């Protein structure tokens, strides 16, 4: 799916956050090879997931200046 997103010219500049349970170095490498903007591992509990989601929102939607914004 990431490869398709990054091949579409209209979607190319959209930041992609990979949120996964995988800790595999191969998965991490592949995500960045396909131009993911960050690779985050899901916390094991709901409170951790809520906190991480808020951090993602704060960084990508409130702090980062995106192309075309």
Residue 25 resides in a domain: yes
- Residue 29 in any domain: the answer is yes
In a domain, 45, yes or no: yes
Secondary structure of residue 6 in the 3-state scheme: helix
Span 31-47, pLDDT tens digits:
999 999 999 999 999 99
pTM of the prediction? 0.82
The answer as to whether 19 is a domain residue is yes
Run of H or E residues at 19: strand 17-20
* Torsion on CA atoms 35, 40, 41, 42, rounded to nearest 10: -120
Residue 9 domain-assigned? no
Number of domains making up the chain: 1
What pLDDT score does 51 carry?
97
* The predicted structure's pLDDT at residue 69: 59
Q: Is residue 31 within 8 Å of 39, Cβ to Cβ?
A: yes
Question: Under a CB-based contact definition with an 8 Å cutoff, are residues 19 and 48 in contact?
Answer: no
Residue 25, domain extent: 14-63
Q: What is the mean pLDDT of residues 21-38?
A: 95
Residue 68 lies in a domain: no
Instruction: Judge whether 20 lies within some domain.
Output: yes
Domain-embedded: residue 50: yes
Average pLDDT, integer, range 12-33 = 94
């Amino acid at each position: 799916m990431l490869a398709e997103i990054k091949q579409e010219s209209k979607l190319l500049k959209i930041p992609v956050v990979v949120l996964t349970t995988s800790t595999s170095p191969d998965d991490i490498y592949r995500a960045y090879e396909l131009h993911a903007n960050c690779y985050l591992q899901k916390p094991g509990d709901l409170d951790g997931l809520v906190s991480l989601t808020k951090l993602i929102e704060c960084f990508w939607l409130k702090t980062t200046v995106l192309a075309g914004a």
